[in-house]
Amino acid sequence: MKEIILIAHSFPPYPGIGGRRSAKFAKYLSRLGYTIYAISAKSNHKTISHWHEDVSNNTKIINYQFTSIYPKILTKSNLSFFEKIQYKLSLLYVKILSKGTPYDLSVFLNKKIINQTRKFIEEKKINNIIVSIAPFSTAFYVLKLKEKFKNLNVIIDMRDPWTWGSGYGFTTISKNRMEYETEMEKYVIENCNTLFVPTLEMKNNLQDKYPQKSDNVIVLSHGYDIDEMSCEHIKHNDNTITFYGSLYPSIEKNVEYFSLALKKAKLQFQLNIYSETTKYSEIFNNNNQLNQKVFYKKSLDPKKIFFEIKKSKYILILQPIYAVDFITTKIYEIIFNRVPIVLISKKGILSDFIVENKVGYFFDVTDSKDKLIDFLNGHLPYQYNSTYNIEEYSFENLTKQLEKYLS
């Protein structure tokens, strides 16, 4: 039977980038003839996922959503005074009722998820399970099911670093909570059938920590969806630079670096920022650029944002230091649209990839801004590789690679 259980906390319509990868795999697996039973959290947000259309109105994708009592306040930022009090009380509440990181959104949902998974296994005789993490603890409890159901083929798709990462509170939790998370991570690595990671850096880290399971760790990269792309030729606007997506924490230096160079450049560029927030706007405002050279705009759905990308002269990437070795979904999307990348970060696997393949330009945030100013003024020689073969990073191709690991 071509049936799969897919467990993904943020599966659409739940909003956010966390559900994109699982939604794309579900869509393309359904096109290969599989029926997907998706188990996810029920959203308590006003917005819905940009990728809801990928999985809705598809008879081969059946979504089971469960309501979680995880405090919504713990997912918010830019809190008011009273919200900060609520945040502290909610954090204490979660800590009392959990053993690992209190920022694991699935902590109150795992029992419902496991009960539904067990029901599918027993009633539908499904043996293929894909678990998208983070949040992480769900993978641990799913793998516990193998103690009873010996023939389960459990594939873990680890989108983000676990205990060695900087997200999900791992830099601030206590020693005991970290030990608990480490034990769960170890159990997951040792008992899953296959572990997919999107980057080579993550694979190397896991293979160093768990050499006995190194053969089970496979790089299945991020990718682009051809359904979202337009093959229409659009003329570039020579004075437009575009940034789109999340404005991550810890990129203040990157923003300041670019802002000052943009201010000193003689050529007049306009920076359009498509994001859910106006984070870092004070930096541009301090440099007298906000609403003159820099414009914050509402986040757009994929097809609309890629139209804006194709019109742009350059696409700006501001990569935080913890992600300098990560080649994200966004990179492959931009390359497909044949627009040069302007990367502001520290040196890493991402900068090497961009420079070596001539798909953009890299400016080290620790260096002088003069090189970037020269680039913006058109004085820096540059040859863009418009023929880079991006086909292997399509979700259609990536899903066919995933299918090889199904039993």
Task: Look at residue 371 and tell me whether its pLDDT is greater than 80.
Answer: yes
Q: How would residue 316 be classed by pLDDT, with cut points 50, 70 and 90?
A: very high
Which amino acid does the sequence have at 116? Answer: Q
Mean pLDDT, range 311-337, rounded to an integer: 92
pLDDT digits (tens, 9 = 90+) for 208-261: 999 999 999 999 999 999 999 876 777 777 789 999 998 988 899 999 999 999
Mean pLDDT, range 374-387, rounded to an integer: 88
pLDDT digits (tens, 9 = 90+) for 327-365: 988 999 999 999 999 999 999 999 999 999 999 999 999
Q: Give the Cα separation of 15 and 195 in Å (integer).
A: 25
Q: How would residue 16 be classed by pLDDT, with cut points 50, 70 and 90?
A: confident
DSSP assignments along 168-190, one per residue: TTTTTS-HHHHHHHHHHHHHHHH
The whole-number pLDDT of residue 59 equals 95
The rounded percent of the chain whose pLDDT value lies above 90 is 83
- Find, among 260, 375, 255, the residue nearest to 317 by Cα: 255
The single residue listed with the structure tokens 């990928």 is 54
Q: Give the Cα separation of 31 and 47 in Å (integer).
A: 27
Sign of CA dihedral 130, 39, 49, 1: positive
pLDDT digits (tens, 9 = 90+) for 80-130: 999 999 999 999 999 999 999 999 999 999 999 999 999 999 999 999 999
Contact 9, 44 (CB under 8 A): no
The whole-number pLDDT of residue 297 equals 95
Task: Look at residue 319 and tell me whether its pLDDT is greater than 80.
Answer: yes
Residues 6+ apart with CB under 8 A from 348: 319, 324, 325
Q: How would residue 44 be classed by pLDDT, with cut points 50, 70 and 90?
A: confident
Q: Give the Cα separation of 57 and 43 in Å (integer).
A: 18
Q: How would residue 182 be classed by pLDDT, with cut points 50, 70 and 90?
A: very high
Q: Give the Cα separation of 45 and 68 in Å (integer).
A: 12
Could you tell me the domains of the chain?
3-224+396-403 (3.40.50.2000), 226-389 (3.40.50.2000)
pTM: 0.89
The whole-number pLDDT of residue 302 equals 85
The whole-number pLDDT of residue 21 equals 96
Phi, then psi, of 173 in degrees rounded to 5: -75, 160
The rounded percent of the chain whose pLDDT value lies above 70 is 99
The single residue listed with the structure tokens 């230091």 is 321
Mean pLDDT, range 285-296, rounded to an integer: 93
pLDDT digits (tens, 9 = 90+) for 163-179: 998 889 999 999 999 99
Average pLDDT, the chain: 93
Mean pLDDT, range 132-153, rounded to an integer: 96
